C-alpha cells in the first residue's frame, strides 16, 4: 500500500470529455424516448435513428468504458476495463461503431473477472499492436472467496503470460500513470483512510505461496480535470471505497473540486448496505455536479443515491455517452 508521500501529478486541463458505456449491468433502449433531451447525455436508441438492427447491445455483470478527452484540435481515447464475457465488449464496440484502432491505452481497474473478460480479444483483434496496458501487478495473482461455510471458491485468474504474448506494451505499476499526454491519470493504489469502507469480506489472495486477506490493492480508476469545472473520477468497482477513491484523486492532483463521479461504487448485498447511508453523507460534503453509479452498485443503493441526489444522479445504460 502506498504511504503518505507527496504524489502530486501534473494533470492537464481537458476542454471536453466523452465517456461511452461499452458494457454495464443494465441496458434500456427506451431511455432516449422517455427522458428530456440533454446535451450532456446521448442514449443509444435505434428508434431515434429510424432503424432497428438485427442484434441488440449486450448487458452483463461487468464494466467497460471508452473515455475520450479533447484539447485543441486533438483528442485521445482510453479504454477502462473489458467486461466479464469474451463476447460482450467486442460485440458492443461493433454495434456502437467504435473504432478500436484509435484507442491509445487500455487500463484494467483490478484483477476480477468482470473487468478483464474480453481483454485478450481486445489486445489480439481490436486495438493497435503494442498499445500500453496499465495494470497493477496484483491483478495477476490467484484469488478465492472464502464463504462462511468454510468453502473456498476459486476466482477466474488473468494469465500474465497470455497478456504478455498478446501485448508487448504491458506496464505493471502501483503508482499513478499519465495517459493522453497528461490529460488523464490512472489512480494507482488508493489510500484507505475512511473508517467505514472496509473492502470485501472473505476475499483472499495468494502472495508468495501464502493465502492472506485480499485488500484488493490493485483497485484503481481514472481521473481527469475539465477546465473550469473540476475533476472527473471514474472507478471500476471502487473496492477501496468510493470516498477513499475521490479523496485519493483529490490528493494526487491537488484539485479539490469534483465535477463528476462515475463507475462502480461497490455497494451490493447485505454486507454493504449498512455503509451506504454513511457514503451518501460523505458524498454530500464533496457535492459533485454529476453522480453516475454503475455496475456493482445494487438497485437498492442506486435508488437511495437517486433519492438523495435528485439533481445530480444520472441512470446509466449500455451505449450511453456522457459529454462534459
Q: Is residue 79 a contact partner of residue 115, using CB atoms and an 8 Å limit?
A: no
Return the CATH number at 122: 3.60.15.10
Are β-strands 74-80 and 64-71 bridged in parallel, bridged antiparallel, or unpaired?
A: antiparallel
* High-pLDDT (> 90) share of the chain, %: 84
Is 68 a residue whose pLDDT tops 70? Answer: yes
Q: Is residue 103 a contact partner of residue 77, using CB atoms and an 8 Å limit?
A: yes
In a domain, 190, yes or no: yes
Which residue range is the domain that position 262 belongs to? 16-323
pTM of the predicted model as reported, rounded to 2 decimal places: 0.95
Is 132 a residue whose pLDDT tops 80? Answer: yes
Tens digit of each residue's pLDDT (9 = 90 or more) over 278-293: 999 999 999 999 999 9
Place of cell 468482470: 114
In a domain, 6, yes or no: no
d(CA 55, CA 52): 9
Structural domains in the chain (count): 1
Band (pLDDT 50/70/90 cuts) for residue 211 is very high
In a domain, 180, yes or no: yes
In a domain, 25, yes or no: yes
In a domain, 192, yes or no: yes
In a domain, 246, yes or no: yes
Higher pLDDT, 32 or 299: 299
Is 220 a residue whose pLDDT tops 60? Answer: yes
| Residue 155 pLDDT | 97
d(CA 96, CA 98): 6
Tens digit of each residue's pLDDT (9 = 90 or more) over 39-63: 999 998 765 566 677 889 999 999 9
Tens digit of each residue's pLDDT (9 = 90 or more) over 80-103: 999 999 999 999 999 999 999 999
In a domain, 234, yes or no: yes
In a domain, 196, yes or no: yes
- Burial class of 257 by CB neighbour count within 10 A (0 to 12, 13 to 18, 19+): middle
Amino acid at each position: 500500500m502506498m504511504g503518505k508521500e507527496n504524489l502530486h501529478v501534473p494533470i492537464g486541463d481537458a476542454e471536453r470529455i466523452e465517456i461511452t458505456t461499452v458494457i454495464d449491468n443494465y441496458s434500456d433502449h427506451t431511455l432516449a424516448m422517455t427522458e428530456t433531451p440533454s446535451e450532456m447525455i446521448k442514449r443509444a436508441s435505434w428508434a431515434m435513428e429510424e432503424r432497428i438492427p438485427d442484434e441488440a447491445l449486450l448487458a452483463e455483470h461487468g464494466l467497460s468504458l471508452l473515455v475520450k478527452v479533447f484539447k485543441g484540435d486533438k483528442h485521445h481515447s482510453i479504454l477502462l476495463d473489458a467486461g466479464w464475457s469474451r463476447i460482450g465488449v467486442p460485440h458492443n464496440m461493433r454495434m456502437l461503431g467504435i473504432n478500436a484502432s484509435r484507442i491509445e491505452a487500455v487500463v484494467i481497474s483490478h484483477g476480477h473477472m468482470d473487468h478483464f473478460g474480453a481483454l485478450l480479444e481486445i489486445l489480439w483483434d481490436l486495438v493497435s499492436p503494442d498499445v500500453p496496458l496499465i495494470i497493477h501487478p496484483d491483478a495477476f495473482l490467484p484469488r478465492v472467496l472464502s464463504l462462511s461455510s468454510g468453502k473456498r471458491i476459486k476466482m477466474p485468474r488473468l494469465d500474465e503470460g497470455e497478456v504478455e504474448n498478446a501485448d508487448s506494451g504491458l506496464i505493471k505499476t502501483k503508482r499513478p500513470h499519465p495517459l493522453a499526454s497528461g490529460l488523464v491519470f490512472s489512480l494507482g493504489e488508493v489510500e484507505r483512510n475512511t473508517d467505514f469502507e472496509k473492502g470485501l469480506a472473505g476475499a483472499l489472495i495468494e502472495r508468495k505461496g501464502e493465502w492472506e486477506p485480499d485488500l484488493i490493492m490493485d483497485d484503481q480508476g481514472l481521473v481527469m480535470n475539465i477546465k473550469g469545472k473540476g475533476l472527473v473520477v471514474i472507478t471500476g468497482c471502487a473496492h477501496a471505497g468510493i470516498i477513499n477513491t475521490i479523496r485519493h484523486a483529490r490528493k494526487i492532483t491537488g484539485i479539490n473540486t469534483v465535477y463528476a463521479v462515475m463507475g462502480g461504487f461497490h455497494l451490493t448485498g447485505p454486507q454493504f448496505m449498512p455503509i451506504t447511508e454513511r457514503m451518501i453523507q460523505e458524498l454530500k460534503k464533496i457535492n459533485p455536479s454529476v453522480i453516475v453509479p454503475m455496475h456493482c452498485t445494487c438497485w437498492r443503493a442506486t435508488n437511495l443515491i437517486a433519492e438523495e441526489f435528485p439533481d445530480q444522479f444520472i441512470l446509466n445504460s449500455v451505449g450511453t455517452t456522457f459529454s462534459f
